[in-house]
């Protein structure tokens, strides 16, 4: 099983970020930032297949339902139960919103600064 190759109906808002300087000063991790984003997928929208080999994170759905696809199959995460899942070095996935309402998650990750 593989996922879509393009994003559709995606809105990403940066809510807060810890700078590379803060990451290095506090935990000795140079060249990375930590960020919290609100990611909204419009009805029928999707997030393209991607890897987290170098960008670990944690996702919590706060509105609607996200359907996460992985090569092994699909899982649904909904806001009613604060559906949460990790994005580890082994994660390769994509996400769909198959409902008729927007679906939003808070995504916290550590990203390499270019």
pLDDT at 114 over 90: no
Return the pLDDT at 46: 98
Report pLDDT digits (tens) over 57-84: 999 999 999 999 999 999 999 999 999 9
pLDDT at 1 over 90: no
pLDDT at 34 over 90: yes
Under 8 Å between Cβ of 83 and 76: yes
Q: Provide mean pLDDT across the span 76-93.
A: 97
Extents of the domains making up the chain: 8-112
- Expressed in angstroms, the distance from the first to the final Cα of the chain is 31
pLDDT at 43 over 90: yes
Return the pLDDT at 105: 98
Q: The whole model's pTM is what?
A: 0.93
pLDDT at 37 over 90: yes
Q: Quick one: 114 exposed, middle or buried, by C-beta within 10 A (0-12, 13-18, 19+)? A: exposed
- The class level of CATH for 8-112 reads mainly beta
Q: Provide mean pLDDT across the span 80-107.
A: 97
Q: Quick one: 97 exposed, middle or buried, by C-beta within 10 A (0-12, 13-18, 19+)? A: buried
């Amino acid at each position: 099983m593989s996922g879509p190759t393009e994003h559709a109906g995606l809105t990403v808002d940066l809510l807060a970020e810890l700078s590379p300087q803060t990451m290095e000063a506090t935990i000795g991790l140079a060249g990375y930032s930590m960020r919290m984003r609100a990611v909204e997928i419009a009805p029928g929208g999707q997030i393209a297949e991607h890897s987290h080999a170098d960008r670990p994170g944690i996702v919590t759905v706060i509105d609607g339902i996200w359907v996460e696809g992985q090569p092994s199959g699909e899982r649904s995460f909904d806001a009613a139960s604060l559906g949460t899942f990790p994005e580890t070095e082994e994660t390769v996935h994509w996400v769909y919103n198959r409902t008729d309402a927007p679906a939003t998650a808070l995504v916290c990750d550590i990203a390499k600064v270019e």
